[in-house]
Amino acid sequence: MSETKHISEMAERVANNLFSIFKWKRKIASDFSWDCVSPDEHGGKKDHPSDCVFYYRDPYDNEVKYINTDLKSYAKGSITKEQINKAISSLSYATNCAPYNDNWKRLFKPEGNWSVIGMLFVYNHCGEYNGDFNEIVKAVENDVNHLDNEKMIYIFSPDRIRILNSIANDINVMIGKEELPSKNHFSFFHPNEILTKNHFNHDYSEPATINVLSSPWIIIKHADCENEKAGYLIYYTKDGSEDDEFDYFIDALSYYQIINNTSNVRIKLTIKNEFAASNLLNSISKYYQSLGRTEKESMQIANTMVKGTIDLVTPQFSANEIGVLP
């Protein structure tokens, strides 16, 4: 097996470890190309690739989402506009084709009510990429995005993957320290729950949807465990550098009825910033003062909620190691 193949496997390993924590499952079939049924409409392509397909049941519409995934494992110099344009062009054609393609269905065997979402997973295997990936995405040319109406592609950047990996690691650490229960006793909260169901029930099966994993915060609803009462654990994924950045966040938690109806809410930051913790404390204090609490009481509540910044965890792989170990 070539070194290139070993490098590509790095992205697959990271994705598997990540998404299992977030309660996604994966189809057995992987690294397949399947014949296109509309080559004239899909850029003349004879086939489309699927590195792997993850899936979960969306708690909002009860539809199974199949995540047709393009795994990229790039060195820092390979993360360019040209490479991303090429990947999006290919993935958008595949995302259009998969839902009505019998070849794709035979491989991945979708069940019940379902739909297909594309995911471009851009892993930086050397860990040295420090460019502005958002600028690359903003510069994506319109003529490489071939998505039909209502079809979607999500792009996970190297930075986003690093944040999600750090969150996944923190979840595992907290389970080990009995500050969070096992996976069977926590789930991921969805804002739409307030419109469809009582989110204070004891259903802990819900996954983190791809939309949640792309959002500014990830909310875990959990049962009692050895060292914590039932409540919410929240990861904030923006940098928190602006004075009023957290005001909208706290308003959202109030709207979700999270900070109004539970005594155990823990908030963790995911990006190191010298101003983030104080900005968050001030926003929480301001919120409770608006409800009639004193400044001292409000700051005491804030201090019980804010738990600091999680460790940044970057996966380490060696192409040679992958080649010799199963």
Q: What is the mean pLDDT of the chain?
A: 91
Place 262 in a pLDDT band, splitting at 50, 70 and 90.
low
Shared-domain flag, residues 86 and 102: yes
Amino acid 19: pLDDT:
97
Domain endpoint, select from 96, 128, 161: 161
- The reply to whether 138 falls in a domain is yes
For residue 127, the number of C-alpha atoms closer than 13 Å in the C-beta half-sphere is: 12
Shared-domain flag, residues 103 and 170: no
Per-residue pLDDT tens digits for 46-105: 899 999 999 999 998 899 999 999 999 999 999 999 999 999 999 999 999 999 999 999
**For residues 32-57, average pLDDT:** 89
Q: In this structure, what is the dihedral angle of CA atoms 46, 50, 51, 56, given to the nearest 10 degrees? A: 180
CA pair distance 321, 319, nearest whole angstrom: 5
Place 1 in a pLDDT band, splitting at 50, 70 and 90.
very low
- The reply to whether 83 falls in a domain is yes
- The reply to whether 316 falls in a domain is no
Shared-domain flag, residues 72 and 110: yes
Per-residue pLDDT tens digits for 147-173: 888 899 999 999 999 999 999 999 999
> Residues of 150-168 as b/e, b for ≥16 C-beta within 10 angstroms?
ebebbbbbbbbbbbbbbbb
Amino acid 324: pLDDT:
47
Residue 232 predicted with pLDDT over 50: yes
Q: Are strands 64-74 and 52-57 parallel, antiparallel or unpaired?
A: antiparallel
Contacts of 203 (CB under 8 A, 6+ apart): 187
Please, are residues 222 and 233 in contact by the beta-carbon 8 Å criterion? yes
Cα separation values, 52 from 194, 213, 261, Å = 33, 18, 40
Shared-domain flag, residues 146 and 181: no
- The reply to whether 321 falls in a domain is no
Q: In this structure, what is the dihedral angle of CA atoms 146, 55, 233, 276, given to the nearest 10 degrees? A: -20
Greater pLDDT, 40 or 291: 291
Shared-domain flag, residues 8 and 154: yes
Shared-domain flag, residues 215 and 115: no
Number of domains forming the structure of the chain: 2
Amino acid 321: pLDDT:
57
CA 52 centroid distance within chain: 16
Among the residue ranges 29-33, 89-93, 322-326, the one predicted with the least confidence is 322-326
Shared-domain flag, residues 17 and 142: yes
Shared-domain flag, residues 127 and 12: yes
- The reply to whether 213 falls in a domain is yes
Shared-domain flag, residues 152 and 211: no
- The reply to whether 74 falls in a domain is yes
Residue found under tokens 């994506």? 140
Q: Which domain holds residue 21?
A: 3-161
- The reply to whether 207 falls in a domain is yes
Shared-domain flag, residues 190 and 155: no
Amino acid 243: pLDDT:
83
Residue 221 predicted with pLDDT over 70: yes
Among the residue ranges 61-65, 138-142, 177-181, 242-246, the one predicted with the least confidence is 138-142
Minimal CA–CA distance to 12: which of 57, 58, 53, 47?
Answer: 53
Domain endpoint, select from 161, 188, 207: 161
